[in-house]
Amino acid sequence: MAAEFTYYFRSLLAALGRQPGWYGVFAEREPDAAAAYGSGRRLPPWDVVRTVLRDVAANGGAGDADPAEVGRAYALHRAAAAAEDSAPGASHALRGRLDAAIRARDGAAARARAAARAYEEAGAETAGPAGARLANGLAWARDDLSRAAARCEELRGRLAGAVGAARLGREAAGAGTGGGTGAAGSDDAGAAERSEAPTVRRPTGARFAGSGAAVPSGSPVAPAPATAARVRSAAPRGARFAGAPTADAVGEAVLPAPSAPAAGPAPSGARFAGAPKAPATPSAAPARDPRWTAEAQAGAARLGALRRAGESGAAYLVLCAAAEGPADRIPYVVRELERTGLGADVATLLWEIAALPPEPLAEAVAALAADGRGPDCRTLLHQAAARSPEDVAVVADLLHHAGRTDESGELLETFARSRPAATAAAVTRTRPSLATPLLAAAARVSAPCQRDISAALRL
């Protein structure tokens, strides 16, 4: 299947002809990667394939590729990925690639922030050639970030699929032999369980477009319900990038609305020891602070004006300032952005908050939880789980001591699920008191995960 996809992708590149669009600039910026994709040595990420499809269609005078052609390309791409992921050791390799992709995404986020600040500081000079270069740099920085985040998402989905296939294979082998898989099989099981990445809402925007939906951006999949929000990010423009993708080509994500939990009593008894408790239904909405309401309205009004004026760099800095402000004001900002039709910027705001030092990050999680914004809390916690064990330990400990034990447990559970046992156990070097909560969180992931982390704690 990999050979079939390689032939198909080469035909797409040939169809670009003398108008290579985005891919032509990409090949100049990353010639080694472009050569590996064209030769079949490496499977290109789906966002690359999707952009090439758009550019081929644009060269023919169409706005986008025919959905049937996109579906065919996606099927070939998924088949090639599945063949690659079925090889021995694929889960380990995918986890390494995901770690590298997360580092690339964080580096792209830093470059996007620096480019936005440089564009903002240029002020009136942005009208000249120097301003055009800054705008061009900002557009490419945001394009790089959007694609890096989409690749993290794609790798998470592939990793989850590889782990699931490995688990089914072990279960079938155990059923066929009438017994366990032995010590080696047990170790592989533990590694696979820890490798399974959580599925979370995909945040997008100027700095971060997500983490963790299993379907890559732009894939030909049935859309989410009408309550979902569609998020777009900017793409390079100007004569140099004629034929390059528009904002639609850079990255799209559908953020599904969280389903309400079914009513009913929480499980109890020894069988359910350690199971997460159902969140309590708030008796009344928290009282609103008029000061925070006024500041949130002013910030949203300024952000909206900047968006309408096309000042994306300045708009990005408004979101950065909101993230770095008082934690108690953050829920007000989120509500106001949603109320004024700027819901797409909430994801960017959340990512900026997730990049804060541990103390203000924990305060923001607590503030959102107190306001009843569970999905936003989970987004922040899942993003925070990608940080160092030291940072995770501080955030989890602060949440625990603030009475936010559910949020602290969610963070530790995500960390235990997505990191090797030795890395997960490292949180106790910074906060030894987290040993018991960490083991409880690992038990909610799986028995092998708890066993391996327990062994790592004893080293």
pLDDT in tens, 299-334: 999 999 988 888 777 788 888 889 989 999 999 999
Q: What is the mean pLDDT of the chain?
A: 76
Q: Which amino acid would we find at residue 337? A: L
Place of tokens 């936003």: 376
Asked whether the predicted pLDDT for residue 368 surpasses 60, the reply is yes
Q: What is the reported pLDDT for 313?
A: 74
Which of the four pLDDT bands, split at 50, 70 and 90, describes residue 7?
A: very high
Max CA separation in the chain (angstroms): 75
In terms of average pLDDT, the best of 46-50, 101-105, 210-214 is 46-50
Tell me how far apart the alpha carbons of residues 64 and 53 are, in angstroms, rounded to a whole number. 8
Beta bridge partners of 252: 232
How many angstroms from the chain centroid is the CA of residue 127?
Answer: 34
- Cβ-based burial of 302 (10 A; exposed 0-12, middle 13-18, buried ≥19): middle
Tell me how far apart the alpha carbons of residues 358 and 372 are, in angstroms, rounded to a whole number. 21
Tell me how far apart the alpha carbons of residues 150 and 211 are, in angstroms, rounded to a whole number. 8
Q: What is the reported pLDDT for 179?
A: 45
The three-state secondary structure class of 287 is coil
Tell me how far apart the alpha carbons of residues 144 and 126 are, in angstroms, rounded to a whole number. 22
Place of tokens 């599904």: 256
Which of the four pLDDT bands, split at 50, 70 and 90, describes residue 143?
A: confident
Q: Which of 112-126, 259-273, 346-360 has the lowest mean pLDDT?
A: 259-273
Whole-model pTM?
Answer: 0.51
Which of the four pLDDT bands, split at 50, 70 and 90, describes residue 285?
A: low
Asked whether the predicted pLDDT for residue 46 surpasses 60, the reply is yes
438 phi and psi angles, rounded to 5 deg: -65, -45
Total number of residues shown for the chain: 459
Tell me how far apart the alpha carbons of residues 361 and 354 are, in angstroms, rounded to a whole number. 6
More confident position, 436 or 156: 436
Average pLDDT over residues 252-258: 32
Helix axes 90-122, 129-177, angle to 10 degrees: 160
**Intra-chain end-to-end CA distance of the chain, in Å:** 44
Tell me how far apart the alpha carbons of residues 337 and 205 are, in angstroms, rounded to a whole number. 14
Tell me what percent of the residues of the chain surpass a pLDDT of 70.
72
Which of the four pLDDT bands, split at 50, 70 and 90, describes residue 1?
A: low
Contacts of 275 (CB under 8 A, 6+ apart): 266, 267, 444
Asked whether the predicted pLDDT for residue 242 surpasses 80, the reply is no
